[in-house]
Amino acid sequence: MPDLLETEYLVPSAAPGISLYVRNKRPAGMAAFSPDRSVLFVHGATYPAETAFDLRLGGTSWMEFIARRGFDVWLLDVRGYGRSTRPPAMDAPAEANLPFATTAEARADVDAVLNHIRALRGIPRLVLLGWSWGCAIMGSYAAAHPANVEKLVLFAPGWLRDTPSPTDQGGELGAWRAVTREQARVRWLAGVPAEAVPTLIPDGWFDTWADATFATDPAGAAMHPPVLRAPNGTVADSRAFWAAGRPLYDPAAIAAPTLIIVGEWDRDTPPAIGQAIFALLSRAPNKRFVLLGQATHTALMERNRQALFDEVQLFLENGPASDR
């Protein structure tokens, strides 16, 4: 397998004082860059990008899997997540400030990073890959900036719903919310048949992920019990838009080839939600819907994750590229 080069950046956002953590992996010696071989990943509503997309489980990460196939691969953390700037509201009691890091603010963060990559690599477009809330970020970005998007991958996307989001803990919303390891485990396994629970996540993988993820928030880790703090902007959006029957973006405005991929046991964003978005992709020149068997919202870190990797890679390598 080819050796990989890793580079890290702090990219200024459009908001004063906010820097965005960005990581890149690509094959050593890669000198030519193209839109169809350039991928940008963004995370979901609670956890940072690196501990999902670039966490080595079974010897490799999803980021490395893609990069070793000749791709220039990027990840970013939205403001308030991972190694990106945590605004002062994160250091105050949650109830002292309003929610932040809304989808609109996250979309602006993606725009800043995407423009940084386009200038650095001299390319007009990238492939966008979102997971969970990241699908709303990337989907709305693709709808608003079609000229910047080569292809679009939506893994476990959210849409209109008649039940509260699993990230919504109820009550008045402050700037951030706290999640414990046990809450993370319970949410992960919700909807999994009892007989499948013991083998869904290979031994040690949950603790490896949790250790890495909770370590990205030292202040939360020092609390009793230890927690991970996550901005509440996405929860505010869920209440104001998705749960209120108001779409945050129009899938019909997406003009890039699009893959929607969902796990059979996904309780956060059930397959029917992905199918609803799929039906609205009227301008996409090519669209695919894939249902992963025996997989949840967190399929990228489960025993069947190779099926996810393979289906996305098939789309990246063999699906039609943008004709713009």
Q: What is the 3-state secondary structure (H, E, C) of the chain?
A: CCCEEEEEEEEECCCCCCEEEEEEEEECCCCCCCHHHEEEEECCCCCCCHHHHCCCECCECHHHHHHCCCCEEEEECCCCCCCCCCCHHHHCCHHHCCCCCCHHHHHHHHHHHHHHHHHHHCCCCEEEEEECHHHHHHHHHHHHCHHHEEEEEEECCCCCCCCCCCCCCCCCCCCEEEECHHHHHHHHHCCCCHHHHHHHCCCCHHHHHHHHHHCCCHHHHCCCCCCEEEECHHHHHHHHCHHHCCCCCCHHHCCCCEEEEEECCCCCCCHHHHHHHHHHCCCCCCEEEEEECCCCCCHHHCCCHHHHHHHHHHHHHHCCCCCC
Mean pLDDT of 125-139: 98
């997971």: which residue's tokens?
Answer: 131
**What local confidence, expressed as pLDDT, does residue 93 receive?**
96
Q: How far is CA 78 from the centre of its chain?
A: 10
Lowest mean pLDDT, pick from 51-55, 151-155, 162-166, 229-233: 162-166
Mean pLDDT of 217-226: 94
Phi-psi region of 65 (alpha: psi -120 to 50; beta: other; left: phi over 0): alpha
The proportion of the chain whose per-residue pLDDT surpasses 70, expressed as a percent, equals 98
Residues in the chain: 324
**What local confidence, expressed as pLDDT, does residue 163 receive?**
76
Phi-psi region of 120 (alpha: psi -120 to 50; beta: other; left: phi over 0): alpha
Task: Yes or no: say if 176 and 90 are a contact pair by the CB < 8 Å rule.
Answer: yes
Q: What's the Cα-to-Cα distance from 251 to each of 12, 126, 255, rounded to whole Å?
A: 29, 18, 9
Among residues 164, 196, 49, 34, the alpha carbon closest in space to that of 110 is found at: 49
**What local confidence, expressed as pLDDT, does residue 230 receive?**
98
Q: Tokens for 172, please give them.
A: 């008045």
In the predicted structure, residue 1 carries a pLDDT above the cut 80: no
Task: Yes or no: say if 275 and 281 are a contact pair by the CB < 8 Å rule.
Answer: no
- Enumerate residues 6+ apart whose C-beta is below 8 A from 72: 24, 26, 30, 33, 37, 38, 39, 121
In the predicted structure, residue 218 carries a pLDDT above the cut 70: yes
Q: How many Å apart are CA 263 and CA 266, to the nearest integer?
A: 5
The dotted CATH code for 4-318 is 3.40.50.1820
Among residues 29, 11, 133, the alpha carbon closest in space to that of 72 is found at: 29
> 322 falls in which pLDDT band (50, 70, 90)?
low
Q: Write the pLDDT tens digit of every residue in 55-80.
A: 999 999 999 999 999 999 999 999 99
Return mean pLDDT, the chain.
Answer: 96
Q: Write the pLDDT tens digit of every residue in 204-213.
A: 999 999 999 9
Mean pLDDT of 244-260: 97
> 189 falls in which pLDDT band (50, 70, 90)?
very high
**What local confidence, expressed as pLDDT, does residue 169 receive?**
84
In the predicted structure, residue 156 carries a pLDDT above the cut 70: yes
Q: Write the pLDDT tens digit of every residue in 10-53.
A: 999 999 999 999 999 999 999 999 999 999 999 999 999 999 99
Task: Yes or no: say if 188 and 297 are a contact pair by the CB < 8 Å rule.
Answer: yes
Q: Tokens for 260, please give them.
A: 């929607």
**What local confidence, expressed as pLDDT, does residue 222 receive?**
94
> 162 falls in which pLDDT band (50, 70, 90)?
confident
**What local confidence, expressed as pLDDT, does residue 234 receive?**
97
Mean pLDDT of 115-124: 98
Q: What are 6's strand-pairing partners?
A: 25
**What local confidence, expressed as pLDDT, does residue 323 receive?**
58
**What local confidence, expressed as pLDDT, does residue 164 receive?**
75
**What local confidence, expressed as pLDDT, does residue 161 receive?**
86
The proportion of the chain whose per-residue pLDDT surpasses 90, expressed as a percent, equals 94
Q: What are the structural domain ranges in the chain?
A: 4-318
Task: Yes or no: say if 154 and 258 are a contact pair by the CB < 8 Å rule.
Answer: yes
